[in-house]
Amino acid sequence: DAFWRNLEQGVESIAVFSRDELARAGEGAAKIDDPAYVRSRPVVEGVELFDAAFFGFGPREAEVLDPQLRLFLECARTALEHAAHDTERFHGRISLFAGAGFSNYLVHNLYKNRPVMEAFGDQQTTIFNVQDSLVTMVGYKLNLRGICCAVQTFCSTSLVGVHLACQNLLNYESDLALAGGVTLDVPQTRGYVYEEGSILSRDGHCRTFDARADGTVFGNGLGIVVLRRLQDALKDGDTVHAVIRGSAVNNDGSLKVSFAAPGVVGQTEVVVEALSAAGVDPQTIGYVEAHGTGTRLGDPAEVSALTKAFRTRTGRRGFCALGSVKTNVGHLDAAAGVAGLIKVVLSLRHGRIPPSLHFETPNPAIDFASTPFYVNSTLREWPRGALPRRAGVSAFGVGGTNAHVIVEEAPAAARTSSARSHQLLVLSARTATALDTASQALAAYLEDHPDLELADVAHTLQVGRRAFDHRRIVVAATLGEAVTALRSAMPVTAPCQRRNPPVVAFLGPEEAALVNLARGLYEQAPAFGAALRQCADAAESLGRSMVEALYPAPGREEAAGRTLREQGLRPLATFAVEFAWARLWQSWGLRFEAVRGEGVGARVAACLAADDIPAALRAAVQHLRPGAATDEAPSEGRDAAAVWRDLPDDPERLRLAAPQSVTSYAQALRVLGELWMAGVEVDWPALHAPERRRRLPLPTYPFERERFWVEPVLEAPPPEERRPSEWLYRAVWKNALPAAANAAGGREPALVFLDSYGVGLRIAEQLRRGGAEIVTVSIGSGFGGDPASGYTLDPKDARQYASLWADLRSRQKAPPRIVHLWGLESLDDSPPGRARFERASDEGFYSLLHLVAARPEGPLAVKVVAAGLHDVTGGDALSPERAPLIPLCRVLVQEHHDLRCELIDVEPPGSDLERLTEALLTELALEEAEPLVAYRRGRRWLQEFERIPAVAQEKPSPRVRAGGVYLITGGLGDVGFVLALALAHQPGAKLVLTGRSGLVARERWAEWLETHEASDESAIRIRKVQALEALRAEVLVLKADASSADDMGAAVQAARERFGAVHGVIHAAGELASNTFLPV
């Protein structure tokens, strides 16, 4: 109810934390004060509280148990009670399909707390916190005997669980199923740091489908639904909130930009499949609850997919409302899908569509006017037409698992009534305090819902609740009487230790006043009347007279008494009433251990104890007919002694008195309730037979929660956080003397890649003099040579490096170190531009890459010598073509853990080759090599980083030039268009968009849009250009293949002719499977 009120009133249920709250939760001052820090998150109150005793957990177990599992366990039981089904009495199998988020409680609160881990054990702690334990632990604690299946598909987890549950039910593998999800990220009181281009919102609001949409906000929550086959639910009188007409699940596969990006094809197909499974026309869908993460790329992709799905059957526009619960509660991860489903169910039930929040201006990438959809931004009535209300629900998981469900409003529930004057309400709990709380909650609920049928309330409490030890009953004729009784100081049983204790019935002699004896039971308890008529039928012609005399019409009581006396019917009438009274209790589930009787009561006892009761009944009635001998002991059925035995006084036996003490229906209900309070099992459905009763959603069990929480342990005080102004560093070069040399290292075998200056030959000669075995490699046109004379290879051919290693291994000459000097080669004989860059790459970057990739296993030390990589002293001559060697050397040691790589940056070799050779030999002999060393004019330099103060600029330099001209390859594709939109927001933006398809001539745009479907590719491109121009950007669209140098040259020329210059180029063209771009 609270959830619906918030949805209806447009409440954003996302907490915004104060600075003090964040500081108390452990967030650092610098982080809180960071302008990019967002102080928002959806939270769940009381996550540290749990009714451990109710579910049979000890205190230590409860502390270690994942809070997600605790919450889900309580809510699963609550959902079953809300549906009025007790797992212990349910006739059939109950299944569970659900998933949870990752347990941060395990990581942050438990693993670092060694005393807790050692006391409880690492394995048991892990079992209590892994996601797989969620469904099996709930299944164990709630006695679910169907399929308990963990689901994990990121954001679509819970809706996929709903689909699996539906299939499970339709396949008759279960008879009831729970489905849902839970996400609880602890600590809850913390925000997040916003990063441009991420899925997270800049300000903590989710603006689905709005032009300002820039992401979502992740938070905590859970949801569970109870599912049954519709015919079974209607048969059992369940309250049906909505009907799932059909559902579908699929995966995007690789048909999208990246792993985390949305897939339009997959989303389209899953909606089409769900509509087909439901057997409904999309025109009958009045609302779609979108996945709606509020991202610039995700929202247009989702609307595009929905439009394509609906367009398979209808061309109508603007008839279906669209919204997302994420604007209210944020993104609940594993619980996101079921949150949307519950919202839709409530909307169907109330006949109103709640507003999707923060929607003002449509996302310019979405042309809603050409789609079947409009964003529902206000509370709107949802009128019912000729068909039931219908809606769709979507959930799309990271990685591509998509789910869609078609939901329809529930069939109208038939009004019920009861012919019984009174009803028996039964309540129970594990503790007396919980019972009091439950009583008051029920009283308040009944007072707030005066239209409820009291018989349905009683039935729900009887069949839909577990019977606990502390018990209370109320017998009432109206809801008002029930409320008054519930609020009074009613007696409560002590803890009931007995289960179905023995009951003995006592039947007395002939009654003094027979007329109207137990008339209330005759009129309101069908089993009583049926048994009485059974006796009357056995008495043949006298039976009708007996019944008319027992229960005469008003005013005929005195005449009826004379009839009983004068016709000698009193013994027969006494027998009939006592027999009917005993059979009534048996129909309500009582199993008499014995029946004791006196006079006529003895004959009733004998009849009830007989193996063939109808035969015994006929014989007893014949004995009791007027004029028949009645002084013989009863001999029907079993030995009379067994029936008449004198039972000793036994406090364990319950005694049920003769009919004269329980004659009205209300009295019978009270006795029945007292028997139940004493532990007797009652057949509750038989109590209401043959009336059809409903199961109502009444207040559920009031858990008595206590705090069970392991606080995180700080192993050391956190370091003092630096202010953002202290975050900046710069690289500096400082003189450094070489460390100690390793004499043995100079004698290790080496592979030397020779340069044309002779530096490599000098190094090889010196190493050989020191006793090292040296093999040389020179640049050549092909592979050849041997270790003695040296090898040659073509740097461009990766296979020749593999041949080199293979030959060295075959001769057992593979060395443990390499000196690579090809980075010294002069590039002056290559023309500037592409040719020079390719040569430098072949001899440097690719040579080193191929060399390492083909190497055999084992440790390897590589010295890479290159000229002109860094400006060390200021004004150094640089070779930017060789710059890719710098990151390559850093990455190689991360990818290959047994590889050591040192990059030695030197001046271009000149006349003083001797000094350069000596410097390099010194580096070769060092015990501890530096990752980066430079030599300038004989001096050794090392790179270090020093902090620099951040000086705020009065006017920060703009990232994009005002009035700038930017060329975007693939500019009308998914990624390119998002980038174009960002640039279009800049004043005076001029955009040149290239692509293989080009664009329809501008003068044909209006005609094209009018005559083509919204899903037409050319129409989509036209609307994208219109969206950019609506932002006042000048747009030039050119047909050009990004892989063609001629096409791109012509495109640049056309851009310059139109705008005068090109200030920036963005490459956004590429194959779908290239994964060039991260998700937006």
Distance CA 346, CA 409 (A): 10
703 has pLDDT over 80 = yes
Q: How confident is the model at residue 567, as a pLDDT? A: 81
On whether residue 957 sits in a domain, the answer given is no
Strand ranges in 717-867 using DSSP code E only, listed in sequence order: 729-735, 750-753, 774-779, 784-786, 790-793, 817-823, 860-867
Asked if residue 188 and residue 65 are part of one domain, the reply reads: yes
The two three-digit tokens of residue 497, written as one number: 């230790």
Q: How many domains does the chain have?
A: 5
- Cα 178 to Cα 97, 170, 345: the distances in Å are 6, 14, 16
Q: Work out the angle at residue 115's Cα, subtended by the Cα atoms of residues 114 and 121, and round it to the nearest 5 degrees.
A: 80
Residue that is last in its domain, among 377, 409, 441: 409
Asked if residue 558 and residue 515 are part of one domain, the reply reads: yes
Report the run of H or E that residue 273 belongs to, with start and end: helix 264-278
The residue ranking higher by pLDDT, 435 or 504, is 435
Give per-residue pLDDT as tens, 502-533. Answer: 888 888 766 668 889 989 999 999 999 999 99
Number of Cβ within a 10 Å radius of residue 807:
18
Mean pLDDT of 884-899: 92
CB 429 within 8 A of CB 701: yes
* Confidence band for 101, pLDDT divided at 50, 70 and 90: very high
What CATH number does residue 1054 fall under? 3.40.50.720
**From 223-232, 275-284, 408-417, the region with the lowest mean pLDDT:** 408-417
What CATH number does residue 137 fall under? 3.40.47.10
Asked if residue 545 and residue 450 are part of one domain, the reply reads: no
For 213-264, the DSSP string reads ---B-B--EEEEEEE--HHHHHHTT----EEEEEEEEEE-TT-SSSTTS--H
644 has pLDDT over 60 = no
* Confidence band for 489, pLDDT divided at 50, 70 and 90: confident
Q: How confident is the model at residue 621, as a pLDDT? A: 76
Q: How confident is the model at residue 929, as a pLDDT? A: 83
Distance CA 104, CA 122 (A): 16
* Confidence band for 960, pLDDT divided at 50, 70 and 90: confident
The residue ranking higher by pLDDT, 691 or 599, is 691
CB 451 within 8 A of CB 696: no
Strand ranges in 265-359 using DSSP code E only, listed in sequence order: 287-289, 320-323, 352-353
**From 332-346, 660-674, 800-814, 853-867, the region with the lowest mean pLDDT:** 660-674
Q: Work out the angle at residue 796's Cα, subtended by the Cα atoms of residues 792 and 800, and round it to the nearest 5 degrees.
A: 50
Mean pLDDT of 358-370: 94
Distance CA 756, CA 18 (A): 68
On whether residue 756 sits in a domain, the answer given is yes
Q: Work out the angle at residue 944's Cα, subtended by the Cα atoms of residues 940 and 950, and round it to the nearest 5 degrees.
A: 145
In this prediction the pTM is 0.72
Which DSSP letter does residue 400 get?
A: S
Distance CA 253, CA 730 (A): 44
Distance CA 472, CA 455 (A): 17
Distance CA 762, CA 755 (A): 10
The two three-digit tokens of residue 924, written as one number: 């070769």
Q: Work out the angle at residue 296's Cα, subtended by the Cα atoms of residues 294 and 299, and round it to the nearest 5 degrees.
A: 55
Q: How confident is the model at residue 543, as a pLDDT? A: 72
On whether residue 462 sits in a domain, the answer given is yes
What CATH number does residue 525 fall under? 3.40.366.10
627 has pLDDT over 70 = no
Greatest distance between any 2 Cα atoms in the chain: 149
At 396, give phi and psi (nearest 5°): -125, 120
* Confidence band for 994, pLDDT divided at 50, 70 and 90: very high
Q: In what order do the strands lie in the sheet with 860-867?
A: 729-735, 939-947, 932-936, 899-906, 860-867, 817-823, 750-753, 774-779, 790-793, 784-786
Which of 759, 774, 778 minimizes the C-alpha distance to 867? 759
Peptide bond into 509 cis (omega under 30): no
On whether residue 165 sits in a domain, the answer given is yes
Asked if residue 511 and residue 481 are part of one domain, the reply reads: no
Residue that is last in its domain, among 383, 409, 435: 409
On whether residue 709 sits in a domain, the answer given is no
Asked if residue 594 and residue 675 are part of one domain, the reply reads: no
* Confidence band for 753, pLDDT divided at 50, 70 and 90: very high
Q: How confident is the model at residue 666, as a pLDDT? A: 94
Asked if residue 466 and residue 536 are part of one domain, the reply reads: no
256 has pLDDT over 90 = no
1075 has pLDDT over 80 = no
CB 838 within 8 A of CB 876: no
Residue that is last in its domain, among 382, 409, 436: 409
On whether residue 723 sits in a domain, the answer given is no
Q: How confident is the model at residue 296, as a pLDDT? A: 85
Asked if residue 93 and residue 223 are part of one domain, the reply reads: yes
Mean pLDDT of 788-815: 95
Asked if residue 442 and residue 307 are part of one domain, the reply reads: no
Q: How far is CA 548 from the centre of its chain?
A: 67
Chain-wide mean pLDDT for the chain? Answer: 89
On whether residue 719 sits in a domain, the answer given is no
At 897, give phi and psi (nearest 5°): -75, -15
Q: Which of 750-754, 910-914, 1064-1068, 1070-1074 has the highest mean pLDDT?
A: 750-754
* Confidence band for 1074, pLDDT divided at 50, 70 and 90: very low
Q: How confident is the model at residue 739, as a pLDDT? A: 66
* Confidence band for 249, pLDDT divided at 50, 70 and 90: very high
**Letter for the amino acid at 36?**
A
Asked if residue 427 and residue 534 are part of one domain, the reply reads: no
Distance CA 24, CA 178 (A): 38
Q: How confident is the model at residue 632, as a pLDDT? A: 44
Asked if residue 924 and residue 786 are part of one domain, the reply reads: yes
Structural domain harbouring 156 = 2-409
- Cα 756 to Cα 510, 767, 915: the distances in Å are 131, 19, 17
On whether residue 715 sits in a domain, the answer given is no
Give per-residue pLDDT as tens, 441-481. Answer: 999 999 999 999 999 999 999 999 999 999 999 999 999 99
Give per-residue pLDDT as tens, 385-421. Answer: 899 999 999 999 999 999 999 999 999 988 888 989 9
Asked if residue 737 and residue 615 are part of one domain, the reply reads: no
* Confidence band for 133, pLDDT divided at 50, 70 and 90: very high
The residue ranking higher by pLDDT, 543 or 551, is 551
Mean pLDDT of 92-103: 97
* Confidence band for 952, pLDDT divided at 50, 70 and 90: low
Q: How confident is the model at residue 931, as a pLDDT? A: 93
Q: How confident is the model at residue 1044, as a pLDDT? A: 87
CB 983 within 8 A of CB 991: yes
Distance CA 1022, CA 40 (A): 38
346 has pLDDT over 90 = yes
1072 has pLDDT over 60 = no
Mean pLDDT of 668-684: 93
Asked if residue 758 and residue 675 are part of one domain, the reply reads: no
What CATH number does residue 834 fall under? 3.40.50.11460
